[in-house]
Amino acid sequence: MSQITPQKFIFERHHRLLIRINSHISLFSTNRFFESDFFVYQRFIVQFNSTQRFYSLSSHVSKSRFIKLNNLRRNCSLSSDAAAPFIVADDEKYGNKQVISITPRLYDYILANVREPPVSPDQAQLLAMLVQILGAARCIELGVYTGYSSLAIALALPESGCLVACERDAKSLEVAKRYYELAGVLHKVSVKHGLAADVLKSMISNGETCSYDFAFVDAEKRMNQEYFELLLQLVRVGGVIVIDNVLWHGKVADPLVNDAKTVSIRNFNRNLLADDRVSISLARSKSIKPLNRDNHR
Ligand SMILES: C[S@@+](CC[C@H](N)C(=O)[O-])C[C@H]1O[C@@H](n2cnc3c(N)ncnc32)[C@H](O)[C@@H]1O
C-alpha cells in the first residue's frame, strides 16, 4: 500500500508546477529543482495540436523564474564530465531505482530531439497530475505490471472514470487487481489480459475511437510506433499520450548502442519529432524504473 502514498499526497508535498499547454506542455517543479537537476528526461508527453490554454498551478512562479531555472539547468548540465558514465547510482533510498546523469552527449541528444526540455516531478505524480489537469474520465494504460502507475491514474480519476489497463502477463495482473481492490478503485479499472496492440485494435473495432482522454504507454518498446498510431485513433483531439522511458537509460544517445530495441526507440523519437499531428514535450523524471523490471519489457 505504500506505493499509493505519493499519489495520495500529490497536492500536499508543496510541489509548485507550472504547466503550459499551447503548442507544447512545459512542466517543472521549483522546489525540487536543485536536488533533481542531474537526472534525465525520459518520457514524452504528447498532446494533440488544438487547445490554446495556459495553466498556472502556482501563483508564485513567474515566467522570468522559469527562464532563470532553465538557464541554470543548462549550465549545470554542461559542466558535467564528458567521460562520466550515464548511470551514476542505484540508490536504496529510492527503492533501488536507477538514476542517470546528464552528460553533454545526452544533453545534446535532448536538445536535438525535443522542442523544449522541461522538468517534472516523479513519474506517478506526473501521471496523476496530468489526469487531473485534463479532467480525464477515460484513460488507457499499456503495460500494467503489478499496477503501480495504473493505480496512480485510477486514484486520480473521478468515481465515474474508467481506466483500460492492458497487460500480457496474467500473474502481474492478479497482483495489480489486488491493489486496485485494496485502494478502492477496482470499479474504475477495466483489466484487459492480452497483447496491447490487439486490445487497442479491438477497442477501435468496437467503435471507441476518439473516446479517451489520456493514455500511458509502458509495454513493449519496439511496438511504440504501432501503439502510438492506434492510440491516435482512440484518444480525442486535445488528449494526452505519455510514453515511458524514451531515452532508454541514455542508450538512444550512444552511437555505439544499436540493438533492435534501442534503434526502434531512437527511430520512434525521431518520427515523433517530425510528426506535426501532435505537440510534444520530454519530461524529466527523477528516477528510472528498477533494473529488474527490464526483464519484463
Ligand atoms: C515496465 S512494465 C510496466 C510497469 C507499469 N507501467 C508500472 O509503472 O507499474 C512493462 C509491462 O509491459 C508488459 N508488456 C510487455 N509487452 C507487452 C505487450 N505486447 N502487451 C501487453 N503488455 C506487455 C510486461 O509484461 C510488463 O508487465
One digit per residue, pLDDT tens: the chain, 297 residues?
Answer: 333 333 322 222 222 222 222 222 333 332 232 223 223 334 455 544 333 222 222 222 223 233 233 333 332 222 233 344 344 444 455 454 445 556 667 767 766 665 433 333 367 888 898 999 999 999 999 999 888 889 899 999 999 999 999 999 999 999 999 999 999 999 999 999 999 999 999 999 999 999 999 999 999 999 999 999 999 999 999 999 999 889 888 899 999 999 999 999 999 999 999 999 999 888 766 443 333 334 334
Q: Find all residues with CB under 8 Å of 200, minimum gap 6, and list them.
A: 140, 142, 166, 227, 230, 231, 234
Residue 293 near ligand 1, beta carbon < 6 Å: yes
The DSSP letter of residue 1 is: -
ipTM over 0.85: yes
- Report yes or no: 268 and 225 within 8 Å, Cβ to Cβ: yes
Atom 4 (ligand 1) nearest CA: 145
In 10 A of CB 82, how many CB atoms? 8
Distances (CA, A) of 83 to 49, 102, 106, 213: 39, 11, 12, 42
How far away, in angstroms, is 264 Cα from ligand 1 center? Answer: 17
pTM equals 0.66
How far away, in angstroms, is 255 Cα from ligand 1 center? Answer: 27
Q: Find all residues with CB under 8 Å of 42, minimum gap 6, and list them.
A: 244, 245, 246, 247, 282, 283, 284, 285, 288
The number of the ligand 1 atom at minimal distance from the alpha carbon of 195 is 20
Nearest alpha-carbon partner for 146 in 45, 259, 4 = 4
Question: Tell me, what CATH number does 90's domain have?
Answer: 3.40.50.150
User: In terms of DSSP bridges, do strands 53-56 and 235-243 run parallel, antiparallel, or are they unpaired?
Assistant: unpaired
The number of the ligand 1 atom at minimal distance from the alpha carbon of 166 is 21
Residue 122 near ligand 1, beta carbon < 6 Å: no
How far away, in angstroms, is 291 Cα from ligand 1 center? Answer: 14
Atom 16 (ligand 1) nearest CA: 220
Residue 230 near ligand 1, beta carbon < 6 Å: no
pLDDT at 78: 27
- Report yes or no: 67 and 106 within 8 Å, Cβ to Cβ: no
Block residue for cell numbers 489520456: 214
The number of the ligand 1 atom at minimal distance from the alpha carbon of 198 is 20
Number of domains, the chain: 1
Nearest-angstrom CA–CA distance, 123 and 128:
9
Q: Which of 153, 218, 288 to mutate to test the pocket of ligand 1 (most atoms within 8 A of CB)?
A: 218
In terms of residue numbers, what domain contains 66? 2-296
Residue 195 near ligand 1, beta carbon < 6 Å: yes
Residue 193 near ligand 1, beta carbon < 6 Å: no
Block residue for cell numbers 525540487: 32
pLDDT at 173: 95
pLDDT at 289: 37
